Copies of this chain bind each other. A is one copy, B any other.
Amino acid sequence: MKDTSKISTAVIRRLPRYRRILKELKDKDIERISSNELSKLTGFTASQIRQDLNNFGGFGQQGYGYNVDSLYNQIGSILGLDKEYKMAIVGCGNLGQAIANYASYYRAGFKVVSMFDVNPKLIGIIINGIEIMDYEDMEDYLKANPVDIGIICTNKSSAQEVATKLCDCGVKGIWNFAPTDIVVKENVVLENVHLSDSLNTLAYYISNSGK
Residues of chain A whose beta carbon lies under 8 Å from any beta carbon of chain B: 4-5, 12-13, 15-17, 19-21, 78-81, 83, 85, 93-95, 97-103, 106-107, 109-110, 148-149, 172-173, 175, 179-181, 187, 189, 191, 193-211
CA separation between A5 and B210, bound complex, in Å?
A: 9
Are A208 and B148 closer than 8 Å at their CB atoms?
no
Residues of B close to A206: CB separation below 8 A: 80, 85, 148-149, 172-173, 189
Are B200 and A81 closer than 8 Å at their CB atoms?
yes
12 A–B contact pairs at CB < 8 A? A15-B204, A16-B200, A17-B197, A79-B204, A81-B200, A83-B207, A106-B195, A107-B199, A175-B199, A187-B210, A191-B198, A191-B205
Are A175 and B191 closer than 8 Å at their CB atoms?
no
Contact of A207 among B17, B80, B205 (CB under 8 A): B80
CA separation between A210 and B5, bound complex, in Å?
A: 9
Q: Which 8 A-B pairs have the closest CB atoms?
A: A80-B207, A94-B98, A16-B197, A191-B202, A16-B200, A95-B98, A189-B205, A80-B203
Residue of B nearest to A173 (CB): B206
Are A101 and B106 closer than 8 Å at their CB atoms?
no
Contact of A202 among B94, B175, B203 (CB under 8 A): B175
Contact of A195 among B100, B109, B193, B200 (CB under 8 A): B193
Residue of B nearest to A197 (CB): B16
Residue of B nearest to A82 (CB): B207
CA separation between A124 and B202, bound complex, in Å?
A: 29
CA separation between A195 and B181, bound complex, in Å?
A: 18
Extra contacts besides A81-B203, A93-B98 (11): CB < 8 Å? A5-B208, A12-B204, A19-B200, A20-B196, A20-B197, A93-B101, A103-B195, A107-B196, A107-B200, A172-B206, A193-B193
Residues of B close to A175: CB separation below 8 A: 198-199, 202
